Structure 1
Amino acid sequence: MKILVSWLESWVKHAAPLDVATLAERLTMAGLEVESVEPVAPPFTGVVVGEIVEVAPHPNADKLRLCTVDVGQGEPLAIVCGAPNARVGLKAPCALVGAQLPGGLTIRQAKLRGVASFGMLCSARELGISDDHAGLMELPADAPVGADIRRYLQLDDAVIELKMTPNRADCLSVLGVAREVAALTNTSVTPPWAPGTVTERDHPLSPQAPLVPSAGFTAGRAVRLDAPEACPRYLGRWIRGVDPTRPTPEWIERRLRAAGLRPIHFLVDVTNYVMLELGQPLHAFDAQQLAGDITVRWARDGERLTVLTGDEVTLDAATLVIADAQGPVALAGLMGGLESGVRTTTTEIFLESAHFTPSAIAGRARRYGLNSDAAHRFERGVDPEGCRRALERATALILEIAGGEASEVVVAETPAHLPVRSAITVTASRLAAHLGVPVNADDAARWLEREGVATQVVGETITAVPPSWRFDLAIPEDLAEEVARLIGYDAIPAQMPEISAVMGQSPETRRARHAVRHFLCTRGYSEAITYAFVEKRWETEVLGNAQPIALANPIAAPLAVMRSSLIPGLVEAVAANRKRQVESVRLFEIGRCFLSAEPITAVTQDALDAALAHHQPLKLAAIAWGTAEPGWTEAGHRAVDFFDLKGDLEALFTPETLAFERVEHPALHPGRSASVWLVQGKERTQIGVIGELHPKWARHWELKPAPVVFEIELEWALARRKPEYQPLSKQPMVTRDLAFLVPEGRSAAELIAVARAAAPQALQSVWVFDVYQGKGLPEGMKSVALRFRWQHPERTLTDAEIDEAVVQIVDALAAQCAATLRQ
């Protein structure tokens, strides 16, 4: 938002002119960041208002002309000029001999094609005012000849550029910033027009027009609101008999240029000027192009409209439009239609001033690729009480500039849909708690009243009702911020907060995530962080997830869904390392995965809430690929296998017991993968999977040999058994080795579990030390050799006790696993 300082000063009356540096500092400290303060024009000297009194052809050049220019110094000057708009009676800036122009150019007496020239007539770009270089800068007919151009055009003025946060749409106007300045300086806002008028006071074009035209003709057309929830208030006025040839006043053009807008035509310029001044976007239609009544409604799917940029857009039912009897003529709050737009021949207009709710406009500009200053304001919120004021201001300016006759104002509104500012209650102690400094209720109320907030103080309780233009004030914290802004953030003393240091509690039955990370790092793993957004193909094909959670606005086409597993991301990381000739990779990741909610089985509120809430578990995954020990000689080279990763996982859970069962997983090798179970007494809980990457995906990622991965629920790795002291037994240990013939489908883990359950007394450990399949064994059978160790904590075990335990184990394995003791 760019504003001329003089324009702002015309709204806030001070005993002395505002110091620009101080103003910028106060605004910044109040939360309205001033990005820059720039002069209207760069420094230059020796330029005055000149009037061309005679134009003659150049004797030696077809494109040059010899102009006689009156500069108010007696004898006129002969100046050679090539501008296409040079003509008798034109007033333009004239740089005299000796003038210093922007860029270091010094004007000297010169000869152009043999003809002496005693100065230079200037364009706006040559003076650094704008980029317009199409011709001479044309000045108003009443510009005083010989006047210093900097003083006449107020080029010593400054432009301040404010960086507005989205919640402060009320400051996207001169009026809004003036309110802020008045509140900060404890002055009042005074409109720059005389009481009862809406035009510039003391300006030559200001005939002190009344606020409402004294004689307004009857419009004869109605305005209807078919979407009151999106447009609760719509005002319109017809103006006829306008002179379309009238130029835009210089003071309006000057302020528009300073704000970064290019003057176009006085009707368009007036609507832009009032929008900058009052914050209310307006639109002018060519009334002769409108048919019948005006309707504000939602578009119908498939309707088409060519907008002012020349683009044709196809509308949908979520777009608000302004329509006449023949169809849409404008995108509400965004952009007008090309056919109904004003042009250089327009003599009758329909002027629109409406309040559109932010939700009805938000996102439409991006959807259609049509950005506009109006949409920028309506998306953030516009004062609903400013419609009439802006309409009257624009009407008076148009009548003042181009004459004509205005109709009565046509009003359509549904008060029930207009925004209401609710009261906010806060105590002085709560304000003090937020600000960190003592706050008096009466003082806080006075600060708030400067911003137009109606307040009532009872004791230390403040009841505040925000004004219609402050959409950002809704909760007590907003009032605290408002008081802080007005006091000035720099005025609030910086002091160290008092913090009670409380030692964090970490129960012995739980370990921190950092401990898990540290453990895996000590075993040679490095932590990885991969995208939570993944390719849809990863989910559907690699993981078998038929319904991944899709993103509404993916940052890139390949990253279109949320991950349900960490495995594909780690595999991608290993593949990237392999391409960089890394011979061994071990990675782990702790991250959140995203699983779709269970389908709705009953139409209840609880079921609906559950369906909307996606399950987002934290998981731990690790991957190992390449050589088991990097740097080994070729003779000792061995690839990482399933049992390397299994050992790391079991070490992570020590002293807990893990069990592994064959499982089918779409991402893993069908014969080299298992589900992971946590065994706690008689309870078993499945906590994840482990296995070698499926050959299909190993080929896809060009990984040979295939990497090994595991993925578990992180919560189970964080929970651990409370450490308990167990004295070491001094008694001798008894070892028995038993070999069993079992069907090939039986797993060693199943044999060990059955054996432990059959003879738990004094059994310290049992593990597999040999597996044999092949010659000498019955078909479909294998030999599994188990080593058992018993040790009693207090006495020596007898042979009879061991023999009895062995019999119990053999019987249990025979009954439950079809195992026979191998002789």
Structure 2
Amino acid sequence: MKISEKWLRQWVNPAITAQDMMDQITMAGLEVDGFEPVAENFSGVVVGEILTAKQHPNADKLQVCEVSNGSETVQVVCGAPNARAGLKVAFAQVGAVLPGDFIIKKAKLRQEESNGMLCSEKELGLSESHDGIMELAADAPLGEDLRTYFDLDDIAIDIDLTPNRADCLSIAGIAREVGVLNDIAVEAPSIEAVKPSHNEVFEVELADGKGCPRYVGRVLNDVDVSATTPLWMVEKLRRGGIRSIDPVVDVTNYVMLELGQPMHGFDLDQLNGKIVVRKAQKGEKITLLDGQEMTLTPDILVIADETGPLAMAGIMGGENSGVSASTKRVFLESAFFAPIEIAGKARANGLHTDSSHRFERGVDYSGQERAVERATALLVDICGAKPGPLVVREDTSNVPAAAEIELHSDTVTSSLGMALEDSVIKQILIGLGFELVSEKAGYWKVKAPTWRFDMAIQADLIEEIARIYGYNKLPVTAPTAALKPQGKKEQQVDTNALVDRMVSLGYQEAITYSFVEPDMQKAMFPKLESIALANPISADMAVMRVSLWPGLLKAAQHNLNRQADRIRLIETGQRFIQEEKGLEQIDMLSGVVSGSRLAKGWYENGELVDFYDVKGDLEQLLSAIKGVSFDFVPGTHSALHPGQCARIEREGKLVGYVGALHPSLAKQFGIKQSVFLFELRLDRTLTAELPEFTPLSKFPSTTRDLAVVVDEESPVEDVLSSVREMAGEDLISLNLFDIYRGKGIDSKRKSLAMGLTWQHPSRTLTDEEINRFMESIINTLQTRHDAVLRG
């Protein structure tokens, strides 16, 4: 929320600098995100008046104007379409300095002399408006410095509030905090009941008292919507981030910023019958003020009349019943909507308004009359409105009850680590608006103010006392604990070690959201049911992930769309799958790979990464799990290419998958280059075998090479497993060094060449023993794999 420092100081003005005040607010738990001047720096700009405006003799889109600053009249050439005689303007005189250190000098434009410049709001850094020059009020004092006229030596403070502090979404709320922090009185504007000038009322019915326990309205006649909103109000709205529209809307927005109570003005002549606050009927439609047509659902609270919905309660008004240039009679509403009825409704419909932001957090449920009286007085002054009597409807059974809380000074002392005087505690509570119900030494019973929905128990009061007294004044006590070093099982591999190994191979660690896009996840995992979020951040983050792949693939898409076409991402995190026994949360390590095999450089030849590159990276990764064998066997997965997919198994149990993204999914997701994915279940991966020392043999090793021709469909790993089985326990190395297909080999066959090394720990192996091993290997390969020796 943005507020003007000068507006705040009209309510409470401690003798401290703006920076000190912002530091105070932040330390009280209302974080100041930043601040900025309400206008860019400029000088030499005064209020001027265009006396005459004539067509430039040499340019169709320029005018030659006579401009007075009250003491002299000069000629200025201007291209703004709204320049006209009698208009008060922002006149930058010769020598003026505009934002960006732009100095105004005498010039000639198409042979006509120009002594100054008539400025737009954008040129002065007041807003982004540049449709024409600024039009000032007719009573603007001629020759007055524009910074003085607009009171621009001010800053806009941006405060970030936690959801429980809706009471500070107003000048009144922030002023209350600053007042109690500095122990000074808050000088709020006097708000008195406006005397009705007629007896006309518009009937209101609370059909849903649970959703709307309080509703206050008033009929205003003879409203001059063409009246000009006062400059002071326009500026306060602008500094609060709201643009001026018309006096009725401006007044309701002003009261919202001032008191925290959103309001709405209906065109009374567009209403029929009576106002009814109710739930929407299925299929009802409404066109909102922003032009959107919404189809309402029965869980949405609406303000309606006999013809149908007029507004989405607490969110936005309807287009047809809103105040327009032809409006003469206004029905002013101010309501309290139960936060639970408003929460999530705006976001679910793709909306977010200043009203919904406040109502879903909770507004003061006793402040509706005060807001209407304040707005009425302003509309009487600005628009000449004639007010009727207040219409107040209340469902007392659903109006929140103020919490009554007991507080003991002993509990305050034990919680804060220091004793506070009873007078200090009492002063803080009263300053925050708590009402003393009863009091005795070291004990208070207080009633929470109607604007504090977050007060319920004694701990809440102690927190308030701590933050107002000052966290930096509380004693600092370092915790003491007897910390014993924790043993680590040697068999357990650390997840970070695996991530570090992948980083060393050129991967980057990613962190993606645990909630993903439903359509993408459904396409990749059609048989897995996704867990939907009750209140998602957005439509494309609406379900919990059943794999890390959707998030990583989304990250890959983001990079590919920005010409970063070499991708190596790895992530560790949990997946969430709903099983019959309950929610299953499994730690996973997953990755996505795409692009060239090597990074760009003189050594890079443009070859793209393939399945075996990714498989090799995984083999490097899994080699960190000592004493354990992982097998890559052909497999199928709904998200992976049928011919480039492998199951990763450990002792026959599934550990994960690796493969290329399915071509149909790549096309669906708009990915035009090959993408490879892998994932590992960490609960089945991280346990290694306890290493054992084996003495080095002093005896020579023996090496033989073997080349066999097998069927193309025979998995290489099966062939190597057969070789290991028949090679005996003294085989210390088996190395596949060549796979050949081509000339001299049947097109349905392939040649495998491998090197075998034997070494005995206590003697030299003989040729006869090695020959027996080789014979057993060859016979087994012939029997099991239809292998023949390659000549």
Q: Please state which band the TM-score falls in when normalised by the shorter chain.
A: 0.5 to 0.7
Q: How does 1:545-564 map to 2 (within 5 A)?
A: none
The Cα of 1:378 is off from its aligned counterpart by 0.7
1:152: how far off?
1.4
Q: Which residue of 2 aligns with 1:470?
A: 452
Aligned letter for 2:8?
L
Inter-partner Cα distance in structure 2 for 1:32 and 1:544: 46
Is residue 2:58 matched to residue 1:60? yes
The Cα shift of 1:534 comes to 10
C-alpha change, 1:503 and 1:555, in structure 2 (3 Å) is farther
Q: Is the 8 A contact 1:550 1:562 kept in 2?
A: no
Task: Tell me whether 1:7 sits opposite 2:11 in the alignment.
Answer: no
SS of residue in 2 equivalent to 1:238 = strand
Partner of 2:94: 97
| Aligned equivalents of 2:258, 2:216: Cα separation in 1 | 19
What residue is the counterpart of 2:35 in the other structure? Answer: 37
Q: Indicate if the aligned counterparts of 1:294 and 1:322 stay in contact, CA closer than 8 A.
A: yes
Equivalent of 2:286 in 305, 308, 325:
305
CA deviations on 1:602-629 (whole Å, 9 max, x unpaired) are xxxxxxxxxxxx365889999xxxxxxx
- For 2:693, the equivalent position in structure 1 comes to none
Indicate the larger mover: 480-489 or 536-545.
Answer: 536-545
Once the two structures are superposed, residues 645-677 of structure 1 have per-residue CA deviations (whole angstroms, 9 ceiling, x without a partner) of xx989x9xxxxxxxxxxxxxxxxxxxxxxxxxx
Q: Is the 8 A contact 1:595 1:615 kept in 2?
A: yes
Amino acid of the structure 1 residue aligned with 2:492: R
Residue 111 of structure 2 aligns to which amino acid in structure 1? G
Q: TM-score, normalised by structure 2?
A: 0.68
CA–CA distance in structure 1, aligned partners of residues 324 and 588 of structure 2: 67
Matches within 5 A, 1:126-141: 126-141=123-138
**Structure 1 residues 558 and 502: alpha-carbon distance in aligned structure 2, compared to 1, 3 A threshold:** closer
Q: 1:540 to 1:224 in 2, by over 3 A?
A: closer
Q: 1:2 Cα shift?
A: 1.2
1:249 positional shift: 1.0
Please give the alpha-carbon distance, in whole angstroms, between the structure 1 residues aligned to 2:84 and 2:511: 70
- In 1, distance between residues paired with 2:643 and 2:459? 54
CA distance in 2, matches of 1:413, 1:270: 25
Cα–Cα, structure 1 residues 513 and 118, in superposed 2: closer, same or farther, change >3 Å? same
SS in 1 for 2:392: strand
In 1: Cα distance, 2:129 partner to 2:526 partner? 63
**1:566 and 1:711 in contact (8 A); partners too:** no
CA-CA distance at 1:76 after TM superposition: 2.0
1:257 aligned partner: 238
- Which residue number corresponds to residue 415 of structure 1? 396
Question: Does structure 2 retain, via aligned residues, the 8 Å contact 1:550–1:561?
Answer: yes
Question: Quick one: which of 312, 315, 324 aligns to 2:296?
Answer: 315
Is residue 2:463 matched to residue 1:481? yes
Counterpart-to-counterpart distance in 2, 1:104 and 1:522: 55
Q: How does 1:229-308 map to 2 (within 5 A)?
A: 229-308=210-289
**CA separation in 2, counterparts of 1:304 and 1:534?**
30
Compute the displacement of 1:100 (Å): 1.4
User: Where do 1:69-148 residues align within 5 Å?
Assistant: 69-73=67-71, 75-148=72-145
1:517 pairs, out of 468, 492, 495, with 492
Deviations 1:182-223 (A, max 9, x none): 111111222234xxxx4xxxxxxxxxxx6322433221x310
Q: Which residue of 2 aligns with 1:710?
A: 653
For 1:155-234, what aligned pairs fall within 5 Å after superposition?
155-193=152-190, 198=191, 211-219=193-201, 221-234=202-215
Q: Is the 8 A contact 2:164 2:361 kept in 1?
A: yes
Q: Distance in 2 between matches of 1:12 and 1:467?
A: 20
What is the rounded CA distance, in whole Å, between the counterparts of 1:86 and 1:544 in structure 2?
64
Q: Report the secondary structure of 1:98's partner residue.
A: strand
SS at 2:7 equivalent: helix
CA distance in 2 between partners of 1:27 and 1:705 (Å): 57
The one-letter code sitting in structure 1 at the alignment partner of 2:52 is E
1:324-403 paired onto structure 2 within 5 Å: 324-403=305-384
Residue by residue, what CA displacement relative to the aligned partner does 1:255-292 show, whole Å, maximum 9, x if unpaired? 11111111111111111111111110011111111111
Aligned in 2, Cα 1:514/1:268: closer, same or farther, shift over 3 Å?
Answer: farther
User: Letter of the aligned partner of 2:157 in structure 1?
Assistant: I
Alignment partner, residue 689 of structure 2: none
**Number of residue pairs aligned between Structure 1 and Structure 2:** 609
Gap regions ≥5 residues in structure 1? 199-209, 507-511, 570-579, 599-613, 623-639, 652-689, 719-768, 770-823
The separation in 2 between residues aligned to 1:104 and 1:28, in whole angstroms, is 34
Q: 1:478 deviation in Å?
A: 2.0
Which runs of structure 2 are paired with 1:613-624 in the superposition (5 Å)? 614=582
Deviation at 1:82, TM superposition (A): 2.1
- Label 1:107 to 1:543 Cα distance change in 2 as closer, same or farther (>3 A): closer
Contact 1:547 1:596 (8 Å CA) reproduced = no
Identify the residue that residue 430 of structure 2 maps to in structure 1: 449
CA contact (8 A) 1:304 1:312 kept: yes
Would you say the 8 A contact 1:441–1:457 is kept in 2? no
How big is the shift at 1:392? 1.0
Using the TM superposition, give the Cα deviation of residue 433 of structure 1 relative to its aligned residue in structure 2, in angstroms.
Answer: 3.3
| CA distance 1:429–1:499, change in 2 (3 Å) | farther
* Residue type of the alignment partner of 1:142: D
Q: CA deviation at 1:326?
A: 0.3
Confirm or deny that 1:26 pairs with 2:24: yes
Change (3 A) 1:559 1:498: closer
Query: 2:472 matched to which residue of 1?
Result: 490
**Quick one: distance in 1 between partners of 2:482 and 2:405?**
35
- Where 2:397 maps in the other structure, the secondary structure is helix
Q: How far has the Cα of 1:241 moved from its partner? A: 0.9
> Compared with structure 1, are the counterparts of its residues 416 and 513 closer, same or farther at alpha carbon in structure 2 (3 Å cutoff)?
farther
* Paired residue type of 1:52: I
- Structure 2: distance between partners of 1:426 and 1:715: 49
Structure 1 residue 479 displacement after superposition? 1.7
Pair 1:426 & 2:423 matched: no
Q: Deviations over 1:755-791 (max 9, x none)?
A: xxxxxxxxxxxxxx9xxxxxxxxxxxxxxxxxxxxxx
CA distance in 1, matches of 2:124, 2:540: 49
CA distance in 2, matches of 1:491, 1:12: 24
What's the TM-score once normalised by structure 1's chain length?
0.65
d(CA) in 1 for partners of 2:348, 2:522? 30
The alignment partner of 2:332 has SS state of strand
Change (3 A) 1:109 1:558: closer
User: Shift of residue 568 of structure 1?
Assistant: 14
2:784 is aligned to none
Query: SS of the counterpart of 1:388?
Result: helix
Partners of 2:497 and 2:29 lie apart in 1 by: 50
- How far the C-alpha of 1:430 sits from its partner, in A, is 2.6
Indicate conservation of the 8 Å contact 1:49/1:91, yes or no.
yes
Instruction: Provide the rounded CA distance (Å) in 2 between the counterparts of 1:435 and 1:51.
Output: 63
Partner of 1:747: none
Structure 1 residue 341, shift from structure 2 partner: 1.1
Structure 2, unpaired ranges of 5+: 503-508, 552-565, 591-618, 656-680, 687-727, 729-791
The answer as to whether partners of 1:427 and 1:441 remain within 8 angstroms in 2 is no
8 A contact 2:403–2:455 mirrored in 1: no
Tell me the amino acid that sits aligned with residue 710 of structure 1: K
Q: Which amino acid aligns with 1:491?
A: K
Letter of the structure 1 residue corresponding to residue 450 of structure 2:
S
Q: Return the alpha-carbon distance in structure 2 between the equivalents of residues 400 and 567 of structure 1.
A: 62
CA contact (8 A) 2:196 2:388 kept: no
Structure 1 residues 541 and 700, CA, compared in 2 at 3 Å: closer, same or farther?
Answer: farther
- Structure 2 CA distance for aligned equivalents of residues 65 and 620 of structure 1: 71
Alpha-carbon shift at residue 459 of structure 1 (Å): 3.4
